[in-house]
Structure 1
Amino acid sequence: MAKNKYLFPLILVTSLFFLWAFLHNINSILIPHLKKALELTDTQSSYIDVAVYTAYFIIAIPAGLFVHKYSYKKGIILGLILFATGAFLFIPAANAQSYTFFLVAIFISASGATFLETVANPYVSILGDKETSTQRLNFAQSFNGAGALLAPIIGGQLILSGIEHTPAELKHMSAAQLAAYLQTEANTVKLPYMVIGVVVIVLILLFIFTHIPAVKEDDEAVESHSPGADFSIRVFKNSHLKWAVIAEFCYVGSQVCVGSFFIRYAKFVAGIAEKEAAFLFGFIAMGGFMVGRFAGTFIMKYIDPAKLLSLYAVINILLLIIALTTKGHVALYSLLAVPFFMSIMFPTIFALGIKGLGEETKIASSFLVMSIIGGGVAPWFMGQISDRTGSIQMAYIVPLICFLFILYFGLKGHKIVKRPI
């Protein structure tokens, strides 16, 4: 009976993993769509990702402090309110055809997602038996994989119109025709984001009227703190947290790198057309990512999480070496296999990073969520290498280096050691 009291709250919190994955992965649709609807340059359209990662970096610490002062439940509700607000703001942004307005809406939704991720990851890990915390978090993260798979499919059907005019055709339109076409394109985001907003409001009501257990963190191996103690960077006296932040930074960077440049890589090594490459990545790579989350949860019943993390890091290093040194379908499918072995990395690093932190768990969670900024840094280095060498294939050395850091964390960095800072 004691365990059953956690079941419905756990189901509700697990739904949040799908929600923020949907936010991240719908960007692959929004970027080309808003580029067309608002006549943006490629650089301007990339600000969509910048808005998301900046929100995570800026809001993570305030989110952790808010949750520490109040509660997990209030943090979730505030996050959902921000998420819904951002979704509904897409409607006036589309009416105004204002890219700045869109970016503000995206930033607000991403701020809400930051609250949700800051809360949900540690809450799931402590909502139940301590011995199965990593397994439980990986199971919840499996629904993150489902969101990653479904977002581009649903977004592509509901947002993309399929109408693509050449620059010459646009030039031959009258001012009225062009304005009507662009407004029609901008309007396609209204219905999907209104639906998202309504769904999130339903979740808000469920959380308000559901008893969410105020579970206390395990204070094992943690010094007691008096009320009002400083929970800021002092948390980094825990060496395993420092390495977890580095590892998470590298993981998110590698994940974004592998996906962001895949279509160009497929053309470079195997002459695959962009539509076919997008299909391969969506259904093979992201499908493998989702399956890998569920498979990893099962495998962790028999293999220690840190050992499995190390094994998967080694496999990805080997796959990327093949992807860097061969051509054709061997190189292509080696890279497509990488997301399966990335699947357990974020939740496993997260769970190992907050292990034994007690009351410091909330602020530690904020630092780990902030590390998502790696997704905005690592791809820049890939772009630099590609531009300087003329080889997008050579640029894949960046995620390979990232996996080396993850391997170190799995082998040694995750071990709990307290050091002065």
Structure 2
Amino acid sequence: MGFGNFFRKRSLRVRDDKRTKAAELTLRESLYPIALVTVLFFLWGFSYGLLDTLNKHFQNTLGISKSRSSGLQAAYFGAYPLASLGHAAWILRRFGYRATFIWGLFLYGVGALLTIPTIIYHNFGGFCFCIFIIGNGLGSLETAANPYVAVCGPPKYSEIRINLSQAFNGIGTVVAPVLGSYVFFNFDEERALKNVQWVYLAIACFVFLLGFAFYLSDIPEITDADMAFQAAETHAGEDQNQKFRKQYRLFHATFAQFCYTGAQVAIAGYFINYVTETRANTDSALGSQFLAGAQGAFALGRFGGVLLMRYVRPRMVFGVFLTMCIIFVAPAITQRGNIGMSMLYVTLFFESICFPTIVALGMRGLGRHTKRGSGFLVGGVFGGAVVPPLMGVAADRHGTAFSMLVPLCFFLAAWSYALAVNFWPWYRDTADAFTTTEVGLHGHHDGVVEQGDEGVAPVSDEEKVAAVADRVEKV
């Protein structure tokens, strides 16, 4: 009987049409679930940083070209749309966030274990396939974790919350290159490849344990009905009554995510190549340490961005940071040595808040479409599979410095969304509505006071939910 109750309490299925209190969580109530999910951000930051280091490592040990080594990024980020628009999106909408977290960790662990035999046999194609499985796992985690952090707690602090969690992603990207500089590049080829095996075995063990921790944890689920209520409360949910195909702001944000992520991944993926080619007396081990420093600037930018968003509207911070990315990556095309590397350091600093802020802004006002919309925003990460190969071809033909022109072009395309969300009222007003709402700041309430012709009358949650459901049915 005890075991039956134990498993019933941890059921992974959640009804999306049922209103809970999750959309009104206070800062204190959201602390534990946010902390648990933030561990996931560190995990895929570590995995992403490891990938950038392995890019150069496999060029050295397996003798492959820059364009071919970009197959790692293509496999990793190419898996994201399959997860965010396919299997992970299905699990998220049918079961809930916790089930999607567990599924993503399972795929991550399986992919990490499968890398071991491919490394033993020096099979780069097989390793790329394993990275594809890991990418499916991480894509599943991002499909759930980004929207979960954005909506778990007061909407007013959504961008601050997701950027703070993503800051630990930045810490993971710092740790991985430092680790790589010591265990991949300072040994002979056979010993270095064995070290890669041990790293992925440790990752597999950790993520399986973390998946079990999520199964045991009672974290609040956030349903479509909760998000419909939240959008109605902020008066920014007029578009949730439109069909999904008419969520034009979402699709623009997805396009911006595609372009921005592609540029970010391309710069980080070829950073070591850039410094070894343009800076005298720089080998791959030293280049990996420089990459760790650049990722440190990236992590610092996230913490700095969170602090700025406490006093400045997030859309404005996003607009300034993305503009700075364009300004500082351009000189890296023609400059060399420490100057060119410094330009990339500053670029990574300003890249920091762009990805999570696009997610948070793109989800504004989606209401009942929130879960589906988050899949599209995470699917935009597919840009990380498209832009690095383009940059790799340019780097093979004209050098890595000149190839920085490729991410510059994609930054400019993503800039269109930053301009729209800051200067087009249709975008701007919806974003601002969430930064002024009081939902979740004063705890839960059983009734909402509305002013009528004959005075004040309380309206129960059930009546509000019924009204929202009625509107949804009509659509």
TM bucket normalised to smaller: 0.7 to 0.9
Q: What corresponds to 1:123 in structure 2?
A: 148
Contact 2:67 2:392 in 1 (8 A): no
- Alpha-carbon RMSD across the aligned residues, in angstroms, is 2.8
**Selected match of 2:161 from 119, 131, 136:** 136
**Counterparts in 2 of 1:174-193, with a 5 A limit?**
182=190, 185-193=192-200
Q: Tell me the SS of whatever aligns to 1:188.
A: helix
- What residue is the counterpart of 2:176 in the other structure? 151
Mapping for residues 22-421 of structure 1, pairs under 5 Å: 22-34=46-58, 44-62=68-86, 63-160=88-185, 162-164=187-189, 182=190, 185-216=192-223, 217-219=226-228, 220=231, 221-222=237-238, 235-266=244-275, 270-271=279-280, 273-275=282-284, 276-283=286-293, 285-386=294-395, 390-413=398-421, 416=426
- Answer whether contact 2:56 2:272 (CA < 8 A) is retained: no
Query: Judging changes above 3 Å, is the alpha-carbon distance between structure 1 residues 338 and 197 closer, same or farther for their aligned structure 2 residues?
Result: same
Post-superposition shift, 1:114? 0.8
User: What is the alpha-carbon distance in structure 2 between the residues aligned to residue 277 and residue 198 of structure 1?
Assistant: 29
**Cα gap change, 1:317 to 1:37, in 2 (>3 Å):** closer
Measured in 2, the distance between the counterparts of 1:241 and 1:7 equals: 28
Q: Shift of residue 3 of structure 1?
A: 4.0
Which SS does the other structure have where 1:302 is aligned? Answer: coil
Higher mean Cα deviation, 306-315 or 340-349?
Answer: 306-315
Supply the distance in 2 between the matched residues of 1:326 and 1:152 (Cα, whole angstroms). Answer: 24
- 1:161–1:188 CA contact under 8 A, matched in 2: no
Partner amino acid, structure 2, of 1:109: I
Partners of 2:280 and 2:123 in 1: CA distance? 37
Bigger drift between 15-24 and 341-350 goes to 15-24
From the superposition, tell whether residues 86 and 326 of structure 1 become closer, same or farther in structure 2 (CA, over 3 Å). closer
* Structure-2 separation of matches of 1:384 and 1:48: 15
Equivalent residue for 1:178?
none
Alpha-carbon offset, residue 37 of structure 1? 5.9
- After superposition, the C-alpha distances for 1:173-217 in whole angstroms (9 at most, x for unaligned) are xxxxxxxxx5x5543333222221121122112111110101234
Deviations 1:287-342 (CA, angstroms, capped at 9, x unpaired): 10011111111110111111111111222222133334545543331222100000
Distance 1:222 1:84, change over 3 A: farther
Q: Percent identity?
A: 32
Work out whether residues 164 and 303 of structure 2, in 8 Å CA contact, stay in contact via their aligned partners in 1.
Answer: yes
Q: Structure 1 408/50 Cα, relative in aligned 2: closer, same or farther at 3 Å? A: closer
Question: Gaps spanning 5+ residues in structure 1: where?
Answer: 165-181, 226-230
| One-letter amino acid matched to 2:290 | L
Provide the aligned length of Structure 1 versus Structure 2: 391
Counterpart contact for 2:315–2:421, Cα < 8 Å: no
Normalising by structure 2, we get a TM-score of 0.75
With over 3 angstroms needed to count, the CA separation of the structure-2 counterparts of 1:36 and 1:325, relative to structure 1, is closer
Query: Structure 1 residues 238 and 404, CA, compared in 2 at 3 Å: closer, same or farther?
Result: same
Contact 1:316 1:341 in 2 (8 A): yes
Give, in whole Å, the separation in 2 of the partners of 1:155 and 1:239: 42
**Larger Rg, first or second structure (1 or 2):** 2
CA contact (8 A) 2:66 2:395 kept: no
Question: How far apart are residue 32 of structure 1 and its match?
Answer: 4.5
The 1:28–1:360 alpha-carbon spacing in structure 2 relative to 1, beyond 3 Å, is: same
Cα distance in 2 between the residues matched to 1:333 and 1:260: 16
AA in 2 matched with 1:279: Q
Deviates more, 1:314-323 or 1:40-49: 40-49
Measured after TM superposition, the shift of residue 343 of structure 1 is 0.2
Is 2:21 aligned against 1:14? no
CA change 1:158–1:243 in 2 (3 A) is same
Q: 1:310 to 1:81 in 2, by over 3 A?
A: same
* Cα separation, partners in 2 of 1:287 and 1:8, compared to 1, 3 Å: same
Return 5+ residue gaps in structure 2 as ranges.
1-24, 232-236, 431-475
Q: CA deviation digits over 1:373-397, x for unaligned, max 9?
A: 2122223333444556x35433322
Q: Distance in 2 between matches of 1:397 and 1:272?
A: 25
Work out the CA distance in 1 between the residues paired with 2:312 and 2:253.
20
Q: Secondary structure at the match of 2:187?
A: coil
Which deviates the most, 348-357 or 409-418?
409-418
How far apart are the structure 2 equivalents of 1:139 and 1:307? 17
Which stretch shifts more, 22-31 or 124-133? 22-31
Q: State the alpha-carbon separation in 2 of the partners of residues 364 and 68 from structure 1.
A: 11
Contact in 2 for aligned 1:65/1:362 (Cα 8 Å)? no
Alpha-carbon offset, residue 162 of structure 1: 1.3
